[in-house]
Amino acid sequence: MIVRVAGHGGFRKRIMEMGFVRGVEVRSVQDSPMHDPVKYSIMGYDVSLRRSEAEMIEVLPHGEANRPLEGVGGTVCNSACEACALGDCSLRGRKALKKNEINVALVGNPNSGKTSLFNILSGSSEHVGNYSGVTVDAKLGRLTYRGYRINITDLPGTYSLSAYTPEEVYVRRHLYEAMPDVILNTVVASNLERNLYLTTELIDLNQRTVVALNMFDELQQSGSSLDYDSLGRMIGIPMVPTIAKSGYGIEPLLDTIIELFEGRNTASRHVHINYGSAMEEAIRRLSEEIRPSADLPRQFPVRYWALKLIEGDREVHKLLSNCGDLQSWEALASRLSQRVTAEVGSDIESLLGDYKYGFIDGALEETLKEGGHDVNRRSRRIDRLVANKWLGFPLFILIMWAMFWATFTLGGYPQEWIELAFGWLGETLWALLPEGALRDLVVNGIVSGVGSVAVFLPNILILYLFISLMEDSGYMARAAFIMDKLMHRMGLHGKSFIPLLMGFGCNVPAIMATRTIESRSSRLITILVTPFMSCSARLPVYLLLAGTFFPRHAATVLIGLYLLGILVAFLTAHLLRKTKFKKDETPFVMELPPYRMPTLRATVKHMWEKCSEYLRKIGTTILLATVVIWALSYYPRPKEEVAVENIVAQTESVVTAEPEEVALAHSAAAATQTEYVRHAESYIGHIGRFIEPVMKPLGLDWRAGVALLTSIPAKELVVSTMAVLYGGDDIASLSKNIVNHSGLTPRSAIAFMIFILLFFPCIGTLATIRSETGSNRWMWFTALYNTAVAWLLAWFAFLLGGLF
């Protein structure tokens, strides 16, 4: 049974006229001697198709096509259905069938509310940020509605479908390879002229498309009115007004998607955008040349391939690489392009842009009546303050200081409650479990190690609260605007600032967010310096050591570490720009979206996502690593067991002859010495002593070296490892043990924190660098260079600390 017919207008129409339509049974009858074409039986007659054409037709065995889909959210209707509310819905209780599966590609400009729409359609919880580059990869969601399962792919935000940025290439390749049934194009209703440019690119593709006029309330607030039905019929694409944050227009939008899938929408038709007589003649000439080719991909129309070849789109060369006549097509396209350029006195890109915007202006002239209210007036007023040349920098620094102060100070209150809870749990389990390895594992290993990381959850949440508010409000884009000149002087691009700022949360999505940077050299430099941005995983280490050795100035130390990371990143970028990469003159073009009030729901959702990620990390990576670290520190039991017992016996004999307080101190010292001897003789002790010569110049012993090694999977493991090696039921006791028994001093603690800040990134970050650069070389460069810089600066800080 045929379940969908892909391809573009003319080809698709011809196929469907031959009987290849959805719901019809078709049988494969016979292969030709060369296995291409293939003879099929359909509607009582035989027809042959090339395999390349048959690939555009998706079929399923009859029984499977009519099989109910399971695990997709229940019945085919939804609670919002009016008939369901009245109890007489004919769909109620039925299941969606496999043949009623619709694949939708969600495409739109950055800041068009695309991800918000995706969240409300699919029930997903992707983070929504009010700046370019939040969606850095495709996300898949699904819902069941009126007998159909709708699979929605949220694609990266993009302004066009050319081959200028990685997002543009990614989106077009998805449309080419996945061949979605319907394209859902989100546009900002109050900014149609700019947003509809991407829509004109989709018109050229000639795919079944629906436009969601998102944020329609902003259009209404401006006093404007839009005849969206007439506009949709004019451009051949149906339009549905929506307000993603409130759910307005979602059901009509889904109904339109189903109509397009079934071929029942009357507004959908193919429209040719006229690019002028010279360009149209060139397109016609090249189309006639390439149309007879059996190798030409059928996903996009012939006109589109001709247009892109004349335009010189480098990505199209890859898509058409299997066509035997590609070389002759490109030669003809080059001649035609030169002829058009000479005739119109303009380059091809400018010519196409002018005609596209002319097409948009003509359509809006007939359907849009502008209101008198400027919806961006409030944003401009705010910008006069936050982007002011005198106040912009001080305000930015003040916001950063407030973020770190709140992270350390306000996060300390709930931190105490969590400490008490884990302390109580450790004492209870110690009393319940029998003496031996199991009790030591549970209390000194799992509870102590996991608890030492879990207590910093409030600090992580406060940090992400500030980042979320900056993203959702639109301030993040202004921060990039403020920092552009400084970034440029350091060898970076203005757009680099957003990934770098995201790096304070986590380096992995920050590196992925560099895809919004058009220049490859600027993008690569940004990727390489992003690990110097101190991610939230390092924060527990700073909070522990800064709170232990600098309790009165912990916030200042914290800010100093973050500033040092930024300084090292900028100096590294400047060095790379002067040596490896040539000077980049890519212009700084970035949308400054209007300010929007962050919603409580979105902010809480973002914080909960990060909280759940942190808790999952604690329950998986950190828990497993803590058990491994404990085992390596517990085994083998020391051969000199008698020597350890003698230490305890001697101490106890002294204890009985002295006052009670002194006795307790001696007993604690004896216990600590016992644990030190056992750890030193364990597997982890041997590993630590092997690398100790490298750590000695920094004032660090073998235990600090082991903590650094264990941080390679996840930076939070530094605290877990220190809790296992130094002992401590809570942060207070751990801090006390570090001061009394670790050998760390304030200057060696500073060196330790600097080393943690700068050295070897976590495995996830290195894997992302490998993925985004496509090279093992840059991954190893990052690992080695960052470690070398970390050691040198930590050593210098230790020496400098000796002067004070």
Query: Pick from 369, 367, 368, 340: which is nearest to 355 by CA?
Result: 340
CA dihedral 723, 729, 733, 734 (to 10 degrees): 10
Given pLDDT bands bounded at 50, 70 and 90, which one contains residue 228? very high
Can you give the pLDDT at residue 85? 47
The Cα–Cα gap between 360 and 199 comes to 9
The Cα–Cα gap between 518 and 165 comes to 5
Task: Summarize pLDDT for 90-146 with one digit per residue, the tens.
Answer: 444 456 677 788 999 999 988 788 888 998 888 765 555 544 555 556 788 888 888
Residue 287 pLDDT greater than 70, yes or no: yes
Q: Are 590 and 480 in contact (CB under 8 A)?
A: yes
Task: Summarize pLDDT for 521-536 with one digit per residue, the tens.
Answer: 888 999 999 999 988 8
Q: Are 309 and 286 in contact (CB under 8 A)?
A: yes
Residue 672 pLDDT greater than 60, yes or no: no
CA dihedral 49, 55, 57, 58 (to 10 degrees): 140
The Cα–Cα gap between 713 and 763 comes to 5
Given pLDDT bands bounded at 50, 70 and 90, which one contains residue 11? low
Can you give the pLDDT at residue 679? 67
Residue 241 pLDDT greater than 90, yes or no: yes
Can you give the pLDDT at residue 757? 93
Residue 465 pLDDT greater than 80, yes or no: yes
The Cα–Cα gap between 682 and 676 comes to 10
Token pair 């942190």 in the structure block, residue: 614
Query: Pick from 426, 454, 627: which is nearest to 540 by CA?
Result: 454
Residue 203 pLDDT greater than 50, yes or no: yes
Can you give the pLDDT at residue 284? 93
- On the CB side of 18, how many CA atoms lie within 13 Å of its CA? 19
Token pair 């039921």 in the structure block, residue: 729
Length of the chain: 804
The Cα–Cα gap between 263 and 178 comes to 19
Task: Summarize pLDDT for 362-411 with one digit per residue, the tens.
Answer: 999 889 888 766 656 777 788 888 777 778 878 888 887 788 778 777 87
Higher-pLDDT residue of 71 and 99 is: 99
Task: Summarize pLDDT for 721-754 with one digit per residue, the tens.
Answer: 888 788 766 677 788 888 887 788 999 999 999 9
Exposed/middle/buried for residue 348 (C-beta within 10 Å: 0-12, 13-18, 19+): buried
Residue 96's SS3 state is coil
- Tell me the average pLDDT across 30-44: 78
Token pair 């006052």 in the structure block, residue: 659
- Which two tokens mark 178? 């996945």
Q: Which of 69-73, 112-116, 183-187, 452-456 has the lowest mean pLDDT?
A: 69-73
Instruction: Give, in order, the Cα–Cα distances in Å from 527 to each of 110, 572, 749.
Output: 21, 11, 29
Can you give the pLDDT at residue 650? 44
532 Cβ partners below 8 Å, 6+ apart? 565, 566, 568, 569, 572, 757, 758, 786
Query: Pick from 325, 327, 286, 292: which is nearest to 307 by CA?
Result: 286
Higher-pLDDT residue of 726 and 72 is: 726
Question: What is the SS3 string spanning 497-561?
Answer: HHHHHHCCCCHHHHHHHHHHCCCHHHHHHHHHHHHHCCCHHHHHHHHHHHHHHCCCCHHHHHHHH
Residues 655-676, buried b or exposed e (16+ Cβ, 10 A)? beeeeeeebeebebebeeebbb
The Cα–Cα gap between 706 and 236 comes to 65
- Which two tokens mark 318? 């890859």
Can you give the pLDDT at residue 237? 94
Residues 636-648, buried b or exposed e (16+ Cβ, 10 A)? eebeeeeebeebe
Can you give the pLDDT at residue 733? 79
Task: Summarize pLDDT for 250-269 with one digit per residue, the tens.
Answer: 999 999 999 998 888 888 88
According to the per-residue pLDDT averaged within each range, which of 2-11, 124-133, 192-201, 290-299 is highest?
192-201
Given pLDDT bands bounded at 50, 70 and 90, which one contains residue 610? confident
Query: Pick from 129, 121, 141: which is nearest to 240 by CA?
Result: 121
Residue 708 pLDDT greater than 70, yes or no: yes
The Cα–Cα gap between 21 and 752 comes to 68
Can you give the pLDDT at residue 87? 47
Residue 286 pLDDT greater than 90, yes or no: yes
According to the per-residue pLDDT averaged within each range, which of 178-187, 311-320, 455-464, 577-586 is highest?
178-187
Query: Pick from 529, 495, 531: which is nearest to 513 by CA?
Result: 495
Average predicted confidence (pLDDT) for the chain? 80
- Tell me the average pLDDT across 202-211: 91
CA dihedral 438, 444, 445, 446 (to 10 degrees): 90
The Cα–Cα gap between 758 and 767 comes to 17
- Which two tokens mark 191? 């900014």
Task: Summarize pLDDT for 341-353 with one digit per residue, the tens.
Answer: 998 888 888 888 8
Q: Are 167 and 515 in contact (CB under 8 A)?
A: yes
Can you give the pLDDT at residue 196? 92
